[in-house]
Structures are given as structure tokens and as C-alpha cells.
Amino acid sequence: MAQHIVILGGGTGGTLVANRLRRQHRHDSLEITVVDQDDRHVYQPGLLFVPFGLTHSEDIVRPRQRQLFDGITFRRTAVDHVDIDAHEVHLADGGCLRYDILVVATGAVLVPEETEGLTGPGWMERVFTFYTPEGASALGGALATFDGGRIVVNVVDMPIKCPVAPLEFCFLADWYLRERGIRDRTTLTYVTPLDGAFTKPVASGQLGGMLEERGIELVTEFNTGEVDGAAGRLVSYDGREVPFDLGVVIPLHGGAPYVHRSPGLGDELGFVPTDEHTLQSKASPDVFVIGDASNVAASKAGSVTHFEGETLVANIERHLVGEPLEAGFDGHANCFIETGFHKAMLIDFNYDTEPLPGHYPSAVGLPLLKESRLNHLGKLMFQWFYWHSLLPGRDIPGIHGDMPTSGKHPVSTAPEKES
Ligand SMILES: Cc1cc2nc3c(=O)[nH]c(=O)nc-3n(C[C@H](O)[C@H](O)[C@H](O)COP(=O)(O)OP(=O)(O)OC[C@H]3O[C@@H](n4cnc5c(N)ncnc54)[C@H](O)[C@@H]3O)c2cc1C
């Protein structure tokens, strides 16, 4: 009898895992079901470009079901809860799926309503987020009529998806405002709960320097307690205030709400405790986790989700035949950072190694921790790879799950600038 793999979430992780498994296993040995609440697969890295008119929300969305190979069942409904002991997923449409193996791939959700005032007066009029297609489009409208003043970009708290995206927004905003000739009458401020521009020291120093060069003010260790859209101010828990005319806020993130309704599955934020190397959940040996839904200490990024896929699929296959799992995932993350003016940086790191200068994926490759046009082209081309290689679960030439070490220089090598 075929074993049944149920995959919760048909985003980046759920789609690539389903397709990899479908390619490798006969239909009569493995039944695969993907559950998602909607049929709109968003290429989320594209959201960054929407506010600046460089792409449109409708150009980065495709039907979810069409990204899944034939022989994968798609159930379009929300997950209500998981009963781990009974090996059952209860669906919002009243259905129930029994599984042999469950893959949790429901990502992270935005919870703006958890910050006082954020969704109150001024929300989507003066205060926006570009983390949703609707928010990114609305912000684009507001930027187009913006004629100078104070723009504030605020990360309410970590963890967030793609921790470099708010910095990229600042760099692109600086470029956009210069192109429009209104940069000299606009202050741009980046407000973060971190003690620097980024989490990892070498990259944080580099990115902090780039903010300074562009005249973007950096406010650190700011724990946002309230966003007052009517008066135009951020207020921190320790009473500091940052005024704005246009607020760009990255709201708090949590796991999908059904996780809280599934006894034993998640932590207090709704993320699923997961072994950081095997990707098996701590809740049950028959539950695996991929992508933003897990609590592992890797970035919440599509690249991480992609790299996890290799280990996750191999470990599901081992688990199905009773073999021991491999501690194969090293926390590998790889992010292009758009810096405006048709350039981007690239950072590559894992659980143990912070982003270092050099080249990726080997001594001949894309420059690391350095702005270049080549990296910008890499970022633009990635959308094609996303739909045509990453989601179908095909290997991308030269790109592997493990973080490469060749081509990287020790930290003491000061990164130079490329003109
Ligand atoms: C603005 C922005 C820029 C980004 N830029 C980059 C980048 O440059 N590089 C990079 O690597 N990553 C980037 N990311 C992050 C990347 O998009 C995510 O990390 C990645 O998509 C995570 O994949 P996932 O499968 O875990 O979650 P998702 O792809 O978000 O999929 C989760 C799925 O679960 C479904 N779901 C949730 N709850 C339920 C439920 N109760 N019932 C049924 N279905 C449910 C959702 O509908 C969704 O389809 C960016 C993200 C954003 C927001």
C-alpha cells in the first residue's frame, strides 16, 4: 500500500519538496498531498521592487497548483489543526487527512495587529508594509506622490523573513529619491531592534558603512511599542520617539495560527521546534519541517528553504525505510542585497561561518560582500531560476546545499569597493 505524505503549505518549501519526492517515487509507492489555503504563489523577493515601480504585484504571482507536478493532489483549504498522536490533519473545509509523514511548510505569517496602533489610523495611508502584494502596491502609490519629508523604515522585531530586505528597501529608496530629484529634501531613517545594521558582525559593519555613505540615518536598539499613524511617530518601549511622514514597517512575524491549535507542535511564537541538522521536528519523528515555519537558527529565507530541501527529502526517504537520518543541513543561507544604481552585494554564510569576503560559489564566481553589477544581474535572474529550477526541485548548476568554503577570505581581509 502506498505511504501518504501530507505537506502543509504550497509555498517555496512545500512545492519543492512535493516535486522532488514526486520525481523520485512511483505513484503506487507514495501518495503526496499538498494543502494550501489559497492558489496564489507569490515570488516574495519580487515584493521589494514593487514600491519603486520596477515590477508589479501581478507579475510575481502565479497559480499555486500549476507549480505542482502531475500526480500530486492539491487541497485548497486552510489547515485547522494537526493531531500528532492520531497522525491526522483536520482541514477548515471539514476534511481530514491521515498521514504517514507530515511536512510542515506553512511559513511565517505577519501579525501587524500585535503592535499597538499599527493597523489603526493611517494604516495603508501613511504607514505601509511592502511584505504583502497589497501593501507593496499601496506603498508604490504613496511613494509616487511623495514630494519630500521624513521616510522611516522600521523592523518591529526579529525574526522576520529575509532580514536584509528592509536594508535593501533603504538603499533602493535612496536611489529612487535621487533619481526623482527629491533626495535633498528627504530624510531617510532605518530603525532596528538590533545593535547594528545586521545580525552578523562583518556584514553589519559593511552595511552600516553603506547606510552612512548614503546619508541614511541608523537608529539601533529601538524596540517599537507603538506606531502612531495619525501623528506620524514610532514610540519605543523605553519612551524614545522617531517622527515620520511616510512609515514603512516590517510587522512582527509568527508561525501559522493553526500551530497554536495543534497540541505539542509549536513554540510560543507558533514556530515548530526542529532539529537544526536533520530537519525532523521535536514533536514527532514522523513530522519534518522546512522553511520559515521552523525555529532553527538559520535565516528565514527562500535560499535556506531551498538548501534545506536536499537534506529534508533525503531524510524523509531514510525515515520511510527505517534508516538513521543524516545531520546534513549546515544552516546555509545565501542572499543578494540590492544596493541601488544597478548594483547588489551577495552574502553567503551558515550556522558556524559568518558572511565573509571573497567569491561564490568558488574562487571564480560572484563577488561576496562587495557591490557589483554582476550580483544585481544575479538577483534579477533568480526569479527565472525560482519558477523553472527551484520550485520543480531541479538542481541549479554550481549551487549546493552545503555552504562552499573555497573562494572565501578570512575576516581580516578588508572588503574593497568595486566601481
Ligand atoms: C519582501 C520579501 C523579500 C524577500 N526576499 C528574499 C530574497 O531576496 N531571498 C530569499 O532567499 N528569500 C527572500 N524572502 C523570503 C522567502 O520568500 C521565504 O523565506 C520563503 O518563501 C519561505 O518559504 P516557505 O515555504 O517556508 O514559506 P512560504 O513560501 O511563505 O509558504 C507558506 C505557505 O503556507 C500557506 N499557509 C500558511 N498557513 C496555512 C494554513 N493554515 N493552511 C493552509 N496553508 C497555509 C501559505 O498560504 C503559503 O503558501 C523574502 C520575503 C519577503 C516577504
3-state class (DSSP) for residue 188: strand
Q: Which atom of ligand 1 is nearest to the CA of 38?
A: 47
**Segment (H or E) for 133:** helix 133-145
Query: How far apart (Å, rounded) are the C-alpha atoms in residues 130 and 58?
Result: 14
Query: How far apart (Å, rounded) are the C-alpha atoms in residues 224 and 175?
Result: 27
> In Å, what is the CA distance from 48 to each residue of 54, 125, 144?
9, 19, 15
The closest residue, in CA terms, to atom 37 on ligand 1 is 106
Mutate which of 110, 158, 162, 171 for ligand 1? The one with the most ligand atoms within 8 Å of its CB, which is: 162
Closest among 154, 190, 186 to 170, alpha carbons compared: 190
Q: Which atom of ligand 1 is nearest to the CA of 43?
A: 17
The closest residue, in CA terms, to atom 30 on ligand 1 is 107
Q: Which atom of ligand 1 is nearest to the CA of 79?
A: 42
Buried b (16+ CB within 10 A) or exposed e, 3-26: ebbbbbbbbbbbbbbbbbbbeebe
Q: What are the backbone angles phi and psi of residue 62, rounded to the nearest 5°?
A: -130, 160
One digit per residue, the tens of pLDDT, for the chain of length 419 reads 899 999 999 999 999 999 999 999 988 899 999 999 999 999 999 999 999 999 999 999 999 999 999 999 999 999 999 999 999 999 999 999 999 999 999 999 999 999 999 999 999 999 999 999 999 999 999 999 999 999 999 999 999 999 999 999 999 999 999 999 999 999 999 999 999 999 888 889 999 999 999 999 999 999 999 999 999 999 999 999 999 999 999 999 999 999 999 999 999 999 999 999 999 999 999 999 999 999 999 999 999 999 999 999 999 999 999 999 999 999 999 999 999 999 999 999 999 998 888 898 888 889 999 999 999 999 999 999 999 999 999 887 777 888 888 888 876 544 444 44
pLDDT at 143: 98
How far apart are the CA of 313 and the centre of ligand 1, in A? 19
**Segment (H or E) for 158:** none
pLDDT at 415: 47
How far apart are the CA of 96 and the centre of ligand 1, in A? 24
The model's pTM: 0.96
pLDDT at 419: 40
